Amino acid sequence: MSSKIIESFTNKILIPFRLVPKDGLTPETLAFSITLGIISGIFPVLGMTTLLSLLLTILFRQNLLVVQSVQWILALVQILLIIPFMKFGAYLLNQNVVHISIQQINRAFQPGMLSGIKTVGIFHLYGILTWLILVVPASAVSYFGLLVIFQRKSKRSDKSIPLQN
């Protein structure tokens, strides 16, 4: 069972990243592209991560393939973080404790569609607040951590290639 998971992870995630063209991808560019994919991939609004990652990629002129791939890989993480982000945002604003369930969402829509959208929208705003607070430090940690890894890998691969005149 465990070997099938590892094999699936390798075949679906690691091998495609090896196919990314290496030309023009410096360690800095690769670290920044992956960081943009991470921060856009955990944005706490379903359906907005692709648009956000596309906008960030264009804004910062990064590698679209890398940013989108990382963002798509983090889809499950995004789903797992939405409710904690909402709860923490509500806590920061001294709102009532947010208990989100399917029944609560159904009750929010019983008075009408606009009422339900308003309630769910407020929950999303709590999540976005948390994301905004966490995005800068998480980006810094991600970028500099990945940069160190990619620079070391780049130095190792440079040493293994003999210089020819």
Type of residue at 148: V
Long-range contacts of 54-62 (CB under 8 A, 24+ apart): 57/33, 60/32, 60/36, 62/29, 62/32, 62/33, 62/36
Predicted TM-score (pTM) of this structure = 0.76
Domain boundaries, the chain: 24-154
**pLDDT tens-digit series, residues 72-128:** 999 999 999 998 898 899 889 988 766 776 677 778 788 888 887 887 888 889 999
State the pLDDT at residue 52.
94
How high is the mean pLDDT of the chain? 82
